[in-house]
Structure 1
Amino acid sequence: MCGICCSVSFSVEHFSKDLKEDLLYNLSRRGPSSSKQLLKSSVSYQCVFSGHVLHLRGVLTAQPVEGEREDVFLWNGEVFSGIKVEAEENDTQIMFNYLSSCKNESDILSLFSKVQGPWSFMYYQASSHHLWFGRDFFGRRSLLWHFSNLDKSFCLSSVGPQIPGEASQWQEVPASGIFRTDLKSASISKSVVLKLYPWQSVSGENVIKECVNSLIQVSADLPTFVSVVANEAGLHLKDPVVPLNRTLRQAPLEMPRGTIISVPPTRETLQMFLTDRHMKEVVQQFLEVLSLAVQRRVSCLPRDTNLTPSAALEMGARRANVAVLFSGGVDSMVLAALADLHIPLDEPIDLLNVAFATKEKTVLAGFNQKRKNQKSRYETPSKESSGDDATGGGDGGVDRRFGVPDRVTGRAGLKELQAANPSRIWNFVEINVSLEELQELRRARIRHLVQPLDTVLDDSIGCAVWFAARGAGWLVAHGDTGSYRSSAKVVLSGIGADEQLAGYSRHRVRFQTHGMEGLIKEIEMELGRISSRNLGRDDRVIGDHGKEARFPFLDENVVSFLNSLPVWEKADLTLPRGIGEKLILRLAAVELGLTTSALLPKRAMQFGSRIAKMEKNHEKASDKCERLKSFP
């Protein structure tokens, strides 16, 4: 994961060798392993490239990468499949090698059509003065652009600046395809023409319509000196996933014989579905493809391989390399259980569980002052660490302000995982956030990362994910409570499960009002807008800690498998909550040996963590959020 940036100027009086200090600082937080800047000047334009690398794979490769022909490449991505990258190789260098061998536009598009994994990139071809850039199909990596009317310049960056008022001028680069612009022509005409190479649509007859819609959408918020046009050759990227199965069920679902849907539902209810041979086979196939997606995301990481066996047995001797955003719900439980299959057994897994202080009167039941002050074997948080001493957790002393629903289900989920694999060290990290800390760090850091998104929902989710990913909190182990900060550089997120498997309440409403056809359209819309609604924001927020967000449910093979299924094999909303939504995932959880968590109804993060109750209780999620605004 990296922070990448390219600043382009067309007027000599505005040429600068450096980026603004606050933008460089935000980029460097994303890539603490290496920072490098490169200047490329022509007679009529100048490019400043800046790369900041978080080293996770192969040999550390500083960015920007420059070739013999003075081409420049910046890559913020992971190649999980599609093109071959050996375990000891670095995908940045492999991608640049492939790009350098491309002879034309078609070769470049063919390359990016093959890559499976999250990415955003910038590629400068010196000989042709062309600058290519874009994001992957789902927009799993952030990329922003900013166009200045003053000097007709523009900037591309993983993250925006912190200067009040300026951050709001940046917008997300749409995940509509790949863009190319001719910098030499732009410098002469004083206008920037962005040529779009869109993702190919489902059928040939829709390509033109989809391309026109993309152009209209992309052009809407751009200044007059910038235009977006279709590439002259009509070239496209190939969709990385199969189309959504739109088959409508002709006959009502036949329940397995003897099935009685109890309220509340039981694990036995789910097990009855698995007596159907076809359903069991589908669930097994889903588990296989999802398990492989998790494996690809937790492997090939720098690990402590030189510790002695005795040292490895000591508590805390091995660092966790992988963490899970963990609520104890079925999404995060399945990810944790699958990660357990693929991570070395002597390596801990961090379960990051965030809670925001509720307004009830604080009662510390039997909290042990001696335990609070004792030296623990864990790292002591810095001043910006979550919570004061009074927020320390543990079964022996619970601050009731943080007894939020996700904390309760998280602790229950921890017990399930411990029972499933008692040999694993499961680090359940209780991250407690007070109102004062939320307000201070939202103002200092989070609001700049959430922008250009600006709703109450963006505020709630952005803040919750930022604190969770930071991983600074309390760890309870062997009866001791210690302050702890997660060292994991990879953070697994369950995003994509609800969108594909009808997990939200709006899916049930749509099904009740418009039937199966309406539900299919809702699922299609959810996946279509996930790049602009969620993923850029989450990448910026998690990346701010020098960590990389990984989304197994959005693996191309997982999405293709789920898209190939008729909707009723993924979710059946004629069944009650806790069974019908995300049915296939609940059945997968049962197959993995999970118990209570397989039946938990969907609870949105902003409600489970109680951040939605901390400040203004009567806001709508879609309202513009005043707290995110930057004031001069």
Structure 2
Amino acid sequence: MCGICCVVSLSVQHTVGGFFKDDLLCNLRRRGPNSSQHLIKTVSDLSYQCLFSGHILHLRGLMTPQPLTDIDNNVFLWNGEVFNGIHIGTVENDTQVMFHHLSSCSSESDILSLFSSVQGPWSFIYYQASRHYLWFGRDYFGRRSLLWQFNNELDRALCLSSVSALSDSDNQWQEVPASGIYKIDLKACAISESLVLILYPWKYHSRENAIEETFLSGLDQISKDLPAYVSLTMSESKLSLITPVVPLNRTVPETSVDSHCPNITNSLVTVEDLHGFLAEEHKKKLVHQLIDVLSEAVKRRVLYLFRDTDELTGEILSISTKKAHVAILFSGGIDSMLIATLADRHIPSEEPIDLLNVAFMIKEQTKQSKQKKQHELHSCQECFKKLDTTLVDNLSRFNVPDRITGRAGLEELETINPSRTWNFVEINVTLEELKRMRQQRISHLVYPLDTVLDDSIGCAVWFASRGEGFITTQGDVKPYKSSAKVVLTGIGADEQLAGYSRHRVCFRKYGLDGLNKELGMELARISSRNLGRDDRIIGDHGKEARFPFLDEDVVSFLNSLPVSEKADLTLPRGIGEKLLLRLAAKELGLTASAILPKRAMQFGTRIAKMENSSEKASDKCSRLQSVSVD
């Protein structure tokens, strides 16, 4: 994972470094703490100059400082992971492999073919010196952040960066839309003194009886938000990238499918209710297909990282076995439990796994409510009986729903593999610390998103991924800071398997056809609603976010199934939504967590109740606005 940045100026009269502020450099270095380098390219005869800045978090292969250059003066910045599609040797660095492939491309179609082949998250910037082209873009789902900012005052400059910085001008940062990859002909732009962005969009591969679909979501809106001297056009060659996933199966059964558990009611949902579904051969086959493809996705994400291995034998050195290399954003819910269970299959048995569980302080409670919360605390974690009364009372202020289900989930995991060291990291956040860190760090990472929901999730994920809290071992509470550089998150499960409450509302109003439309929209907008923000938030700690549910093979498998195979929203909460995932959890040996109803992070961690509980999620957040960068 890296922090990458490129500044382009269509003039050589002023140094391009003037656009590269200290606070931007600081924010980029936090993402890439292992190496920082800069390179300036000035083409005097064509009157343009470029600054390239690369900041590396070393995760795989040999350390490879960026920006990379070659004998042809090409320049490459890469913030990504190649998990499949292009061969990467066990000791190779994917940045070097990608640059080698790019340098060998002789045409635009070669470049598009290369990026169509890559499976994994990425954003990149590539200067093709021979043609004076600047290429850049994000992967199909937008799993890596890339922002752009235009500055007409500084000789019509463009800045591309993984993360933004405070600005005292009117120039807004915006997320580069994950609609395809972009090209700028710097030679032509320098002559015309204007910026023209050429888009090569994602398209589904045409095949018999399939409709070719172009993802140009929000293209008109993008153009409208650009300055007058910047234009966005489609490639005249009509070339495009091929999407790495299959189209969504929108098939709807002609007749309603009878539930295998017709007697389930909201008050009677149990783990045993899942048995009826697993008794059907077809359903059980789908469950095992999901387990296989998701297990492989998790495997790629927990093994593709540097573990201090012996370069000759490949054996893991003993020193690395005492610390965690992988952490999981962990609520004890179905998504994080399934990821933890599958990670346990592939991470070396002697290596701990960090379970990051965040809680925001509960407001003062009534005596009756306080007694109830203390009872829940004691019943969820036996070891707390050994703690002194004052500590228990203090900890009960953080006994939010996600803490309770997290502890219960820990017990399930310890039952499945008691020999594994599971570090359940309790991360407790007070109102004072929330306000302080929002102003110091979080606000500019959430930006350019600005809603109450973005603030809640952004803050919760920032504190969770920082990994600073305490762990309890045999009754002893001690401070703990996660050493893991890789953070697994369950985002993408709800979007594909109808996990949100809005999916039930949609299903009640419009049936399966409406639900299909809603699910199709979920993945189309996940880059702009979630992933860029989460990448910036987690990356701020020098850690890399990895998303198993958004692995291309997982998405293709789920997209290939009709919605009726993935969820049954005629069934109550805790079983009907994400039904296929719940069956997989049951098959893997999980128990109570398999039937936990979906609970949004902002409510499970109680951040939504901390400051202004009357706000709506879609409202603009005044707390972000007061320290925003515009």
Q: Give yes or no for TM over 0.5.
A: yes
Q: Does 1:161 align with 2:161?
A: no
The verdict on how the C-alpha distance between 1:355 and 1:329 changes in structure 2, with shifts beyond 3 A counting, is same
Please give the root-mean-square deviation of Cα atoms over the aligned residues, in Å: 2.5
The verdict on how the C-alpha distance between 1:394 and 1:90 changes in structure 2, with shifts beyond 3 A counting, is farther
CA contact (8 A) 1:491 1:547 kept: yes
Partner of 2:339: 335
Partner of 1:300: 304
After superposition, residues 119-518 of structure 1 pair within 5 angstroms as 119-150=122-153, 151-163=155-167, 169-201=172-204, 210=214, 215-256=219-260, 260=264, 263-304=267-308, 318-361=322-365, 399-518=395-514
CA contact (8 A) 1:219 1:228 kept: yes
Partner of 2:374: none
Partner of 1:21: 22
CA contact (8 A) 1:74 1:121 kept: yes
* Aligned amino acid, residue 273 of structure 1: F
**Deviations along 1:544-583, whole A, 9 cap, x unmatched?**
0000000000000000000000101100000000000000
CA contact (8 A) 2:12 2:42 kept: no
User: 1:291 is paired with a residue of what secondary structure?
Assistant: helix
In structure 1, distance between residues paired with 2:147 and 2:211: 26
Partner of 1:59: 62
**Deviations along 1:290-318, whole A, 9 cap, x unmatched?**
00000000003222557xx9x969xx971
In structure 1, distance between residues paired with 2:333 and 2:89: 35
In structure 1, distance between residues paired with 2:390 and 2:176: 44
**Deviations along 1:42-93, whole A, 9 cap, x unmatched?**
0101100000000000001000000110000000000000010011100000
In structure 2, distance between residues paired with 1:589 and 1:345: 21
Partner of 1:97: 100
* Aligned amino acid, residue 269 of structure 2: P
Partner of 1:549: 545
Q: Does 1:565 align with 2:569?
A: no
User: 2:130 is paired with a residue of what secondary structure?
Assistant: coil
Q: Does 1:71 align with 2:67?
A: no
Partner of 1:370: none
In structure 1, distance between residues paired with 2:566 and 2:389: 38
Partner of 1:374: none
* Aligned amino acid, residue 550 of structure 2: L
**In the TM superposition, what is the alpha-carbon distance from 1:498 to its structure 2 partner?**
0.3
User: 1:14 is paired with a residue of what secondary structure?
Assistant: coil
User: 2:127 is paired with a residue of what secondary structure?
Assistant: strand
* Aligned amino acid, residue 513 of structure 2: E
In structure 1, distance between residues paired with 2:611 and 2:624: 13
Partner of 1:2: 2
User: 1:127 is paired with a residue of what secondary structure?
Assistant: helix
Partner of 2:376: none
User: 1:12 is paired with a residue of what secondary structure?
Assistant: coil
User: 1:39 is paired with a residue of what secondary structure?
Assistant: strand
* Aligned amino acid, residue 107 of structure 1: D
**In the TM superposition, what is the alpha-carbon distance from 1:262 to its structure 2 partner?**
6.5
In structure 1, distance between residues paired with 2:543 and 2:388: 25
CA contact (8 A) 2:321 2:351 kept: no
In structure 2, distance between residues paired with 1:504 and 1:274: 24
User: 1:171 is paired with a residue of what secondary structure?
Assistant: strand
User: 1:199 is paired with a residue of what secondary structure?
Assistant: strand
* Aligned amino acid, residue 27 of structure 1: L
* Aligned amino acid, residue 33 of structure 2: P
Partner of 1:379: none
CA contact (8 A) 2:261 2:273 kept: no
**In the TM superposition, what is the alpha-carbon distance from 1:590 to its structure 2 partner?**
0.3
CA contact (8 A) 2:444 2:628 kept: no
Note the residue ranges of structure 1 that are not aligned, 5 or more in a row: 366-390
In structure 2, distance between residues paired with 1:207 and 1:106: 22
**In the TM superposition, what is the alpha-carbon distance from 1:260 to its structure 2 partner?**
4.9
CA contact (8 A) 1:393 1:474 kept: no
User: 1:234 is paired with a residue of what secondary structure?
Assistant: coil
In structure 1, distance between residues paired with 2:365 and 2:494: 34
CA contact (8 A) 1:119 1:135 kept: yes
* Aligned amino acid, residue 281 of structure 1: K
Partner of 1:39: 40
Partner of 1:375: none
In structure 1, distance between residues paired with 2:188 and 2:442: 38
The verdict on how the C-alpha distance between 1:165 and 1:408 changes in structure 2, with shifts beyond 3 A counting, is farther
CA contact (8 A) 2:266 2:573 kept: no
Q: Does 1:605 align with 2:609?
A: no
The verdict on how the C-alpha distance between 1:349 and 1:526 changes in structure 2, with shifts beyond 3 A counting, is same
In structure 2, distance between residues paired with 1:243 and 1:547: 32
Partner of 1:376: none
User: 1:334 is paired with a residue of what secondary structure?
Assistant: helix
CA contact (8 A) 1:22 1:163 kept: no
Q: Does 1:114 align with 2:117?
A: yes
The verdict on how the C-alpha distance between 1:234 and 1:485 changes in structure 2, with shifts beyond 3 A counting, is same
The verdict on how the C-alpha distance between 1:392 and 1:155 changes in structure 2, with shifts beyond 3 A counting, is farther
In structure 1, distance between residues paired with 2:352 and 2:491: 23
**In the TM superposition, what is the alpha-carbon distance from 1:252 to its structure 2 partner?**
2.0
**In the TM superposition, what is the alpha-carbon distance from 1:99 to its structure 2 partner?**
0.3
CA contact (8 A) 2:201 2:216 kept: no
**In the TM superposition, what is the alpha-carbon distance from 1:362 to its structure 2 partner?**
10
* Aligned amino acid, residue 12 of structure 2: V
In structure 2, distance between residues paired with 1:466 and 1:277: 43
**Deviations along 1:19-52, whole A, 9 cap, x unmatched?**
2100000000000111110110001011000000
The verdict on how the C-alpha distance between 1:118 and 1:213 changes in structure 2, with shifts beyond 3 A counting, is closer
User: 2:38 is paired with a residue of what secondary structure?
Assistant: strand
Partner of 1:377: none
**In the TM superposition, what is the alpha-carbon distance from 1:190 to its structure 2 partner?**
1.1
User: 2:424 is paired with a residue of what secondary structure?
Assistant: strand
**Deviations along 1:362-397, whole A, 9 cap, x unmatched?**
9999xxxxxxxxxxxxxxxxxxxxxxxxx9999966
In structure 2, distance between residues paired with 1:142 and 1:212: 19
1:625 to 618, 621, 624: 621
Percent identity between the two aligned chains: 63
User: 2:611 is paired with a residue of what secondary structure?
Assistant: coil
**Deviations along 1:226-279, whole A, 9 cap, x unmatched?**
101111110010011000001011222233488655623101101211000000
The verdict on how the C-alpha distance between 1:214 and 1:616 changes in structure 2, with shifts beyond 3 A counting, is closer
In structure 2, distance between residues paired with 1:301 and 1:178: 27
**In the TM superposition, what is the alpha-carbon distance from 1:149 to its structure 2 partner?**
1.9
Q: TM-score, normalised by structure 2?
A: 0.91
User: 2:13 is paired with a residue of what secondary structure?
Assistant: helix
In structure 1, distance between residues paired with 2:95 and 2:584: 35
* Aligned amino acid, residue 114 of structure 1: S
Q: TM-score, normalised by structure 1?
A: 0.91
In structure 1, distance between residues paired with 2:105 and 2:414: 50
Partner of 2:377: none
* Aligned amino acid, residue 12 of structure 1: V
The verdict on how the C-alpha distance between 1:412 and 1:212 changes in structure 2, with shifts beyond 3 A counting, is closer
In structure 1, distance between residues paired with 2:108 and 2:211: 18
User: 2:356 is paired with a residue of what secondary structure?
Assistant: strand
CA contact (8 A) 1:160 1:448 kept: yes
CA contact (8 A) 1:165 1:631 kept: no
